[in-house]
Amino acid sequence: MGEVMAVLTRPFGATESGRAVCLHMLSIASGMSVSICEVGAAIQSVVVPDGRGNFVDVALGYDGAPGYLHNGACIGAILGRNANRIAGARFELGGTTHRLAANDGPNNLHSGPHPWHERLWQVGEVPHDTPDGASVTLELVSRAGDQGFPGAADVRATYTLHDDQRLELTIEASATEATIINSTSHAYWNLNGHASGTAMAHTLQLESAAYTPVDAALIPTGEVAPVAGTPYDFRSGHALGDILQRLPQGLDTNFVLSNAECVERAATLVGNETGVRMTLSCDAPGLQVYTAGGLDARGKAGAHYGNGAGIALEAQFYPDAIHHAAFPQPIYAPGHPFLRRVTFAFDAPGR
C-alpha cells in the first residue's frame, strides 16, 4: 500500500456570521489530491496525474469560502434534500400537500432557498487514514420542515480517496418521518483542466439504454424512452461536440441506469487534450448529465467558467419522481435511511 495522508490544510475563509470555514485535503502517494470545502461539503479540487509527469486539476471550484456561500451554479457541492426538479413546487405525501419555493418558473429546483449547497457542514470525524486511503466526513442537520419538506434529516457525506486513484463518496441520511431525500454531488468536471475552457470535445460513454423525455420546462413527461436512434445514445461513446450539433441546447438529461441498486459503472468521460479518463460508478437509478449551458462563474485563479466549461454527472433519482408512480421513488422514513454511493476513478490510459 502506498503512503497516504489526510491533511487539514488551511483556513478557507469564514461565513457571513463569522464562523470559520476550513478546506480538507486528502492525498495519496501518486500525487493525486482531493480538497473538500466545508461549505456545501463541496469538492473544491481534484488534482490527478496525466500520465506524462504533469498534474491537472480537473474539478471546477472557487478559491475561498465566499464562492461556495453564493454558489448559484452549485459548483462541486452536495445537493439536497431533493436534487433536480419538482413540478409545481409541491407534492403530496401521507395525505398532506407540501409546498416548496417556486425558484425555476413554477417549479422547484434543487430544493429552493437556503440550499444545502450553501450551508456550513460540520466535520463529523477528524480527517484520517483508512486501510487503503484517506477520508473525511461532513455532517448536516436539516430540521423538520426545512425548505418545506416534512421531517428532520441527519445527513453525512463521506469522501474517501483510495490509493488506486478512486474518490469514493457516500451520502447517508436518516429521517424522523416520511420525506423526500434525493441527494447527490454536483461536481463539474473538465479533464483538460478546470481553467482550460470548453469541455465539449470530451468523449462521453454511458451505460444507459433509456432516458426520460421532458417538456419545455425540463419536467419529465412520465415516459421512459429508448436512446436507440436518438441523439441521447451514448452507449458506444461520442465526442460531446458531435452530439451537440444535434442538440444545440446541450444536455440536461436524465439517463436510466439498470444497476439493481448496486455500485456499477455508469459513465466514462475522457479529456481530449490530456487523455485523463474518469469512470463514474454508482448505485443510483438515474444519472443526470448536464453540459453547463448558461454557466457563468468566476472560479479558481480567476478562471472564467462559461457555457460548457464543465460536465456534471449527477447520480440521483429521476427528476420529479414523486409525481410519477412508475419511477423509482425517493421516499425515506424512520428505519429506512437514504444511502447513495458514487465513485470517481481516474487514470490516463495510453499516456
CATH number, domain with residue 266: 2.70.98.10
User: Residue 351's pLDDT band (boundaries 50, 70, 90)?
Assistant: low
Q: How far apart are CA 331 and CA 172, in angstroms?
A: 14
Contact assessment for residue 31 and residue 46, using Cβ atoms and an 8 Å cutoff: no
336 is catalytic: no
Q: Judge whether 187 is annotated as a binding position.
A: yes
Residue 2 has pLDDT above 50, yes or no: no
**What's this model's pTM, rounded to 2 decimal places?**
0.96
Q: How far apart are CA 8 and CA 178, in angstroms?
A: 37
323 is catalytic: no
Q: pLDDT tens across 99-117, in order?
A: 999 999 999 999 999 999 9
φ and ψ at residue 302, rounded to 5 degrees: 80, 10
CA angle 18/119/101 to nearest 5° reads 125
Q: How much is the pLDDT for 124?
A: 87
Q: Judge whether 85 is annotated as a binding position.
A: yes
Strand partners, 346: 278
Length of the chain: 351
Q: How far apart are CA 280 and CA 253, in angstroms?
A: 17
Q: Judge whether 188 is annotated as a binding position.
A: yes
Question: Strand 331-332 to strand 225-226: parallel, antiparallel, or no bridges (unpaired)?
Answer: unpaired
Range of the domain at 295: 6-347
Strand partners, 22: 11
Q: pLDDT tens across 158-204, in order?
A: 999 999 999 999 999 999 999 999 999 999 999 999 999 999 999 99
User: Residue 133's pLDDT band (boundaries 50, 70, 90)?
Assistant: confident
Q: How much is the pLDDT for 121?
A: 97
Residue from 24, 172, 314, 324 carrying the catalytic annotation: 314
Question: Do you find a cis peptide bond into 10, omega within 30 degrees of 0?
Answer: no
Question: Strand 203-206 to strand 96-99: parallel, antiparallel, or no bridges (unpaired)?
Answer: unpaired
Q: Based on the structure, what is the number of domains in the chain?
A: 1
Residue from 98, 186, 194, 202 carrying the catalytic annotation: 186
Q: What is the mean pLDDT of the chain?
A: 94
CA angle 127/128/129 to nearest 5° reads 145
Q: Do the domain assignments include residue 133?
A: yes
Higher pLDDT among residues 249 and 315, named by residue: 315
Residue 215 has pLDDT above 90, yes or no: yes
Q: How much is the pLDDT for 1?
A: 38
Q: How much is the pLDDT for 313?
A: 98
Q: How much is the pLDDT for 51?
A: 82
φ and ψ at residue 87, rounded to 5 degrees: -65, 140
User: Residue 349's pLDDT band (boundaries 50, 70, 90)?
Assistant: confident
Q: Do the domain assignments include residue 1?
A: no
Least Cα distance to 188 among 293, 283, 54 occurs for 293
φ and ψ at residue 110, rounded to 5 degrees: 55, 30
Percent of the chain with pLDDT over 90: 89
Q: pLDDT tens across 3-57, in order?
A: 545 555 689 999 999 999 999 999 998 999 999 999 999 999 999 999 888 999 9
Lowest mean pLDDT among 83-87, 237-241, 322-326: 237-241
Contact assessment for residue 166 and residue 282, using Cβ atoms and an 8 Å cutoff: no
Q: Do the domain assignments include residue 106?
A: yes
Q: How much is the pLDDT for 295?
A: 97
Least Cα distance to 42 among 193, 184, 187 occurs for 187
Q: Judge whether 254 is annotated as a binding position.
A: no
C-alpha grid cell, residue 30:
501518486
Contact assessment for residue 238 and residue 270, using Cβ atoms and an 8 Å cutoff: no
Q: Judge whether 341 is annotated as a binding position.
A: no
